[in-house]
Amino acid sequence: MPSAAPGPAPRVVVLVGRGRYEDPWHDHAATAHRVAVELTARGRRVELVSLFPGAVGAAVEREPALLVVVAGSGRVDPSFDGDDADWALDHASLAGWADAGGPLLGLHCAANTFTDAPHWRRLLGGAWVPERSWHPPFGTATFTALPEAALPGVPREVVADDERYCGLVLSPPARPVLAHREGGRQEVVAWSVEEGPRRAVYDGLGHSTASYDSPSRLALLRAEVSWLLREPRG
């Protein structure tokens, strides 16, 4: 018998920081493009969406298979990029979509974006906290998968040219996935969230496109996306 025709490729939306959600330390456009190239090469349809007011709501209305956030924190004054009311519907749309089971992947500075959104920290499973969170200088870094990691396919060790975030604050029910050691302490830099229908992953790697030159870093990204999309192993 002929095999069944494959279903349509899953559509992934990558939200790219700009304006209120763009910082001076990260090239969000370049890293988002690099992530899109990788996901497209694995057979997904990828759409890059800049963060203008209304963009998040419009994106989730089209019911993507996965939402990826590559964004940071910028200016929040109304004359620059709208006031809080201009963004309230986007924040509500994002929370409603994720709580209904829409999978979510936050990369690197996504731990420090949507700080004006009341549900973002809960949805992502943790956050960068000013005065507590920090990182050593950029350089070649080694990260280790943790025994309690819930994601299949995560490499035991990831080596990449990247930043090593420290002092991130996890919120239940986040489960640590990847960590490094700094000053004798274990610092968690990636985690997963599974609660009811909801799935999310935060991946603290990806400061620049250099991170994605690492095969082990790419293997980590692939494992995260496969778990979020509930793809069968292999």
Per-residue model confidence as pLDDT tens digits over 47-81: 999 999 999 999 999 999 999 999 999 888 888 88
How is residue 43 written in tokens? 């057979």
Which pLDDT score is estimated for 119?
A: 96
Going by pLDDT thresholds of 50, 70 and 90, the confidence category of residue 146 is very high
Distance CA 147, CA 177 (A): 8
Going by pLDDT thresholds of 50, 70 and 90, the confidence category of residue 148 is confident
Is the distance from CB of 91 to CB of 82 less than 8 angstroms? no
CATH numbers and ranges of domains, the chain: 11-126+192-228 (3.40.50)
* Angular region, 153: left φ>0, alpha ψ -120 to 50, beta rest: left
- Average the pLDDT over 180-209 and give the result: 97
Going by pLDDT thresholds of 50, 70 and 90, the confidence category of residue 126 is very high
pLDDT tens string 2-32: 444 456 789 999 999 999 999 999 999 999 9
- Average the pLDDT over 203-232 and give the result: 96
pTM greater than 0.75 (yes/no): yes
pLDDT tens string 153-176: 999 999 999 999 999 999 999 999
Nearest alpha-carbon partner for 183 in 203, 167, 202 = 167
Check residues 233 and 62 and name the one with the higher pLDDT. 62
Is the distance from CB of 23 to CB of 73 less than 8 angstroms? yes
- Average the pLDDT over 128-152 and give the result: 93
Cis amide leading into 173 (omega within 30): yes
